[in-house]
């Protein structure tokens, strides 16, 4: 069977599954045609369900485009990405009903928008210090070269030579996801060269590669310290139908298809990795789409977040920028600095307010270096998505009492 067929089937399954949420949303809104608030609460509720469970797939959030409106973006530190999705649906709902709503409602809406913009500007601050010195290497190898080119030493050499152009004595240098598409823990030749590189640069190095433990295969991030010793973060949030066959489909899909669609194992969870007295929270590609995961790493003491990804599959499409925006949201939600390093782009550094410090272009072969500011606590880190559940319950109770 051609290898393209499982890929097409996986895409069809994902498209069909994600379409269900918008179908349910339209059904619910149709039943509550006169409600102003219900569509916003209902969409947030559906977004939350879509981001949890074995079929979790948080791509295409309605809150993501608001990263381009700086004052509104700041509300992600209070209500998360779901809060931005609420604003999008609520504002569109009011506009669609503008001719029908009364004057008082229109005044309340204008006050709401004023508070959103003025409050957003008031949340913006300036960094007190920039203690973290980070470098990123964008090698610009397309995904097919990485997966099907058997001699991966050339890819290693490109990244090594680019790394040598960075300053010495950084806190960390980051390479992208699956830079070395091999079981790195079993490749003593590469381990030896990487150890020499970390000693030459006197800098820790984070590398994306595969890891094999017994029969289990992981998509991992290897953190090498300056002495060449390493620890790993094993990817725990896998892409359904791409990196794994999720429950309950794992009971009905033949083993042959499982091998073609997804054959990775899940890591044990999310813990920051120690780095020279600091802690870094690592998210591998798909993991950066989920607010809960970045929040967990931030609350466990991460000094900054690192996203490594291979967005070469999306080359030339809006998905490259969508993923960049999703990662940026994780920084603002948790008021923590973040660096994303992508194989073909976009690689960028962002501060806790969502201001991009440095950024590559897609398709560049480049190294970037930046200082990252210290983060601080956010309200979203404290209460997560709880306010929306409380708000939705109160809304439903009020409606029930009125009827």
Cα gap 365→355, rounded to integer Å: 23
Distance CA 131, CA 144 (A): 37
Nearest by Cα to 288 from 366, 361, 225, 348: 348
52-56, 172-176, 325-329, 338-342: range with lowest mean pLDDT: 52-56
- Structure confidence by residue, pLDDT tens digits, 93-131: 999 999 999 999 999 999 999 999 999 999 999 988 889
Please report the pLDDT score of residue 332 as a whole number.
Answer: 98
Query: Which CATH architecture group holds 132-373?
Result: 4-Layer Sandwich (3.60)
Least confidently predicted of 148-157, 216-225, 273-282: 148-157
Phi, psi angles (nearest 5°) of residue 58: -95, 25
Provide the pLDDT for residue 35. Answer: 86
Q: Are 368 and 339 in contact, with CB atoms under 8 Å apart?
A: no
Give 370-397 pLDDT, tens digit per residue: 999 999 999 999 999 999 889 889 988 8
Say if residue 248 is preceded by a cis peptide, omega within 30 of 0.
yes
Tokens (6 digits) for 93: 């709902």
Report the percentage of the chain scoring pLDDT > 70: 91
Q: How far is CA 312 from CA 31, 47, 176, 317, in A?
A: 42, 26, 11, 10
Q: Which has more pLDDT, 127 or 352?
A: 352
Sign of CA dihedral 89, 95, 100, 104: positive
Is residue 60 classed exposed, middle or buried when 0-12, 13-18 and 19+ CB atoms within 10 A define those classes?
Answer: middle
Do 108 and 116 form a contact (C-beta atoms < 8 A)? no
φ/ψ of 88, rounded to 5, equals -60, -50
Indicate if the pLDDT at residue 324 is higher than 90: yes
1 falls in which pLDDT band (50, 70, 90)? very low
Residue 314: what pLDDT? 83
Which of 126, 173, 170, 134 lies closest to 376 in space, CA to CA?
126
Give me the pLDDT at residue 7, please.
Answer: 55
Residue 2: what pLDDT? 46
**The pLDDT of residue 208 is above 60:** yes
User: Domain segments of the chain: what residues?
Assistant: 4-125+387-402, 132-373
Q: Once rounded to an integer, what is the mean pLDDT over residues 293-313?
A: 94
DSSP-derived secondary structure letter, 251: G
Beta-ladder partners of 183: 210
Computed over every residue of the chain, the mean pLDDT equals: 89
Give 77 or 395, the one with higher predicted confidence. Answer: 77
User: Which tens digit of pLDDT belongs to each residue from 171-188?
Assistant: 999 999 988 888 999 999
For the ranges 164-173, 232-241, 365-374, the lowest mean pLDDT is seen at 232-241
Instruction: For 153, list phi and psi in degrees, rounded to 5.
Output: -65, -35
**Is the pLDDT assigned to residue 8 strictly greater than 70?**
no
Asked if residue 6 has pLDDT above 60, the reply is: no
Query: Beta strands 180-183 and 204-213: pairing type?
Result: parallel
> Six-digit token pair at 215?
């029969």
Q: Provide the percentage of residues in the chain whose pLDDT is more than 90.
A: 69
């Amino acid at each position: 069977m051609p290898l393209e067929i499982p890929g097409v089937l996986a895409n069809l399954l994902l498209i069909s599954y994600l379409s269900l949420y918008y179908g349910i949303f339209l059904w619910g809104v149709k039943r509550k045609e006169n409600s102003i608030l219900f569509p916003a609460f209902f969409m947030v509720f559906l977004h939350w369900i879509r981001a949890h469970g074995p079929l979790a797939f948080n791509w295409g959030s309605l809150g993501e485009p608001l990263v381009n409106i700086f004052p509104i973006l700041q509300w992600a530190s209070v209500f998360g990405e779901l809060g931005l999705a609420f604003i999008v649906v609520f504002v569109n709902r009011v506009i669609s009903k503008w001719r029908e709503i009364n004057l008082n409602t229109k005044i309340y809406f204008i006050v709401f928008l004023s508070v959103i913009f003025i409050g957003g500007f008031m949340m913006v601050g300036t960094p007190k210090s920039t203690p973290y010195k980070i470098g990123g290497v964008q090698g610009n190898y397309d995904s097919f070269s990485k997966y099907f080119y058997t001699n991966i030493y050339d890819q290693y050499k490109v990244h090594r030579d680019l790394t040598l152009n960075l300053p010495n004595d950084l806190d960390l240098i980051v390479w992208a996801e699956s830079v070395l598409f091999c079981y790195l823990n079993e490749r003593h030749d590469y381990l030896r060269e990487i150890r020499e590189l970390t000693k030459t640069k006197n800098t820790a190095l984070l590398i994306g590669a595969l890891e094999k433990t017994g029969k289990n295969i992981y998509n991992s991030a290897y953190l090498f310290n300056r002495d060449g010793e390493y620890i790993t973060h094993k990817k725990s949030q896998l892409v359904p139908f791409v990196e794994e066959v999720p429950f309950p489909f794992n009971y009905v899909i033949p083993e042959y298809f499982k091998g073609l669609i997804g054959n990775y194992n899940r890591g044990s969870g999310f813990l920051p990795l120690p780095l020279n007295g600091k802690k870094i929270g690592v998210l591998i590609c798909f993991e950066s789409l989920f607010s809960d995961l970045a929040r967990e790493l931030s609350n466990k003491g991460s000094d900054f977040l690192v996203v490594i990804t291979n967005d070469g599959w999306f080359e030339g499409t809006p998905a490259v920028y969508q993923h960049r925006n999703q990662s940026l949201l994780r920084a603002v939600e948790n008021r923590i600095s973040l660096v994303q390093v992508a194989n073909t782009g976009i690689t960028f550094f962002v501060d806790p307010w969502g201001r991009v410090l440095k950024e590559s272009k897609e398709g560049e072969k480049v190294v970037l270096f930046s200082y990252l500011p210290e983060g601080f606590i956010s309200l979203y880190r404290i209460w997560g998505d709880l306010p929306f559940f409380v708000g939705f319950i109160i809304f439903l109770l009020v409606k029930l009492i009125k009827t």
